[in-house]
Amino acid sequence: MKKSLIIALLLSATVAQATEISQVYSASVTSTVDSILAIPLMTTGGVVATSASISGETLKLVLEAKEDAATMIASDGAIRGISLQKALEAIRAENPKLQASDLEIAEGILKM
C-alpha cells in the first residue's frame, strides 16, 4: 500500500493536476471518480431530534455547510465559514422561534 501511494504521489506531481488547464479527458476521468467516490459527508445520516424543520432547498445548503460546521466546532466557534452562515440564515428564516446558538445549530447540521 505504502509503495503504491508514493508512486501515485510522484505520478501526480508529474502529471500536473493544475486547475488552470482544462484537460478534457482527464476532467472526465476525475469527474467520474468524483461521482463514484462521493465525499462521505454529502448525505444525511441519522434522524436528528431538533426543534428545527427545514425545506428541501435548505437541506441542500445544510449538506454544503457540513465541513464548515465541523470547522466551527473544532475551532471553538472562531471560524465561521460562509456556507455555514448561509445555512444558518436559511434555517433561522424558516424557524424564527429557534432559540439555539449558532454553535448548537452547527452541531445539529453536522449530525444531520
First vs last Cα of the chain: how many Å apart? Answer: 34
Confirm or reject binding of residue 101 to another protein (CB under 8 A): no
Distance CA 112, CA 109 (A): 5
Identify which of residues 29 and 51 has a Cβ nearer to another protein in the complex: 29
Shorter beta-carbon distance to another protein: residue 5 or 99? 5
Q: Which of 26, 92, 24, 35 is nearest to 58 (CA)?
A: 92
> Between residues 85 and 95, which has the closer beta carbon with respect to another protein?
85
Burial of residue 99 (number of CB atoms within 10 Å: 0-12, 13-18, 19+): exposed
Question: x/- contact string, 52-91, with another protein (CB under 8 A)?
Answer: ------------x-xx-xxx-xxxx-xxxxxx-xx--x--
Give the residue from 93, 91, 86, 79 showing the smallest Cα distance to 50.
Answer: 91
Residue 20 binds another protein, judged by CB under 8 A? yes
* CB-side neighbour CA atoms (13 Å) of 12: 9
Q: Decide: is 35 part of the binding site for another protein (CB under 8 A).
A: yes
- Site residues for another protein per CB under 8 A: 1-2, 4-5, 7-9, 11-13, 15-37, 39-41, 45-46, 48, 64, 66-67, 69-71, 73-76, 78-83, 85-86, 89, 107, 110-111
